């Protein structure tokens, strides 16, 4: 990859500003980047790893949430009324 591929023009797209990147930059679609603007006004994009969705982890997939509910005494769907949930409104 070359250090400077060409000049890029910032464009408005909806409420955002975009910079198109040439395919020659060999950047993968969907890659996540952080942006820093230094004191000289240079935009510095740094690749970062996508945050992990905790619900997709093996630990979450194998966790017994029903056991947790039982331990705290939460009976899903059979909670007692705390106010006027069943009251009729005019």
Q: What is the pLDDT of residues 36-86, one digit of tens each?
A: 999 999 999 999 988 888 888 899 999 999 899 889 988 777 777 777 766
pLDDT band of residue 4 (cuts 50, 70, 90) is low
Find, among 28, 26, 21, 29, the residue nearest to 1 by Cα: 26
Q: What is the DSSP letter of 71?
A: H
Report the sign of the C-alpha dihedral through residues 71, 75, 76, 81, in that order: negative
CA-to-CA distance for 16 and 43, rounded, in angstroms? 16
Rounded to two decimals, the pTM is: 0.47
C-beta separation of 7 from 15 below 8 A: no
């Amino acid at each position: 990859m070359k250090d400077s591929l060409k000049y890029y023009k910032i464009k408005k797209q909806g409420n955002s500003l975009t910079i198109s990147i040439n395919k020659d930059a060999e950047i993968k679609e969907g890659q996540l980047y952080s942006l820093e603007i230094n004191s000289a006004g240079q935009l510095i994009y740094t690749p970062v790893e996508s945050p992990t969705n905790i619900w997709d982890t093996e630990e979450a997939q194998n966790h017994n949430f029903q056991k947790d509910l039982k331990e705290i005494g939460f009976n899903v769907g059979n909670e007692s009324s705390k106010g006027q949930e069943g009251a009729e409104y005019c």
